Amino acid sequence: MADEKIYTPDVIDNNPLPDQIVGTDFSVSDPGTKDVAQTPNIQDQTVPSKRVAVELIGSALNTKSKKILAEFQFTESGAIQVGKYIPSVSGDIRISPNGITARNDAGVTTFSLDGTDGSAVFAGTIQAGTLIGGKVSVGDGDILIDGEEKRMIFYDPDTGLASIIIGNA
């Protein structure tokens, strides 16, 4: 036990920095001016209110039902993509100045509208109350319904020649 050493903390005296007045008491008056030192009063300030676009949200967007209630104007832009294509999870739709395309979760284009020439391709069923068109090619093009000439032509798939003509010849 006699080998144990006892450590005590060193005492460091409080020495002022150069040109520092030791023991300044700010609650007493300045002897030169006879004024009492006081902190200035700061006027009460209001907390700024949050600005909310009430007009836009209230009249054009319903955030609760997630519906668009009014017409919006679009600015010129490169393209718009709706959704994100993730294989076997989700498809997407892309709108550009050249047209609109949609693909399913398998990556198959389900419809395409070409903005340059007006072509349309659909992978599924097209249903309409009325269809107006000049010529309709059915299947591999072996059947042609020609509204302008008022006839139907059935072509022989082997020879490519018209084998049956219904209507005007």
Residue 108 maps to a domain: yes
The mean pLDDT value for 39-68 works out to: 76
Residue 164 maps to a domain: yes
Q: Total domain count for the chain?
A: 2
Residue 55 maps to a domain: no
Which pLDDT score is estimated for 110? 95
Residue 110 maps to a domain: yes
Phi-psi sector, 44: left (phi>0), alpha (psi -120 to 50), beta: beta
pLDDT single digits (tens) 92-146: 999 998 999 999 999 999 999 999 999 999 999 888 888 888 888 888 888 988 8
Does this model's pTM top 0.85? My answer is no
Tokens of 100: 């609109």
Whether residues 120 and 136 fall in one domain: no
Instruction: Name the residue range of residue 154's domain.
Output: 132-169
Residue 5 maps to a domain: no
The least confident of 22-31, 91-100, 148-157 is: 22-31
Whether residues 90 and 113 fall in one domain: yes
Residue with tokens 């294509």: 85
Residue 102 maps to a domain: yes
Q: How far apart are CA 149 and CA 135, in angstroms?
A: 9
Q: How far apart are CA 98 and CA 79, in angstroms?
A: 9
Q: How far apart are CA 61 and CA 70, in angstroms?
A: 7
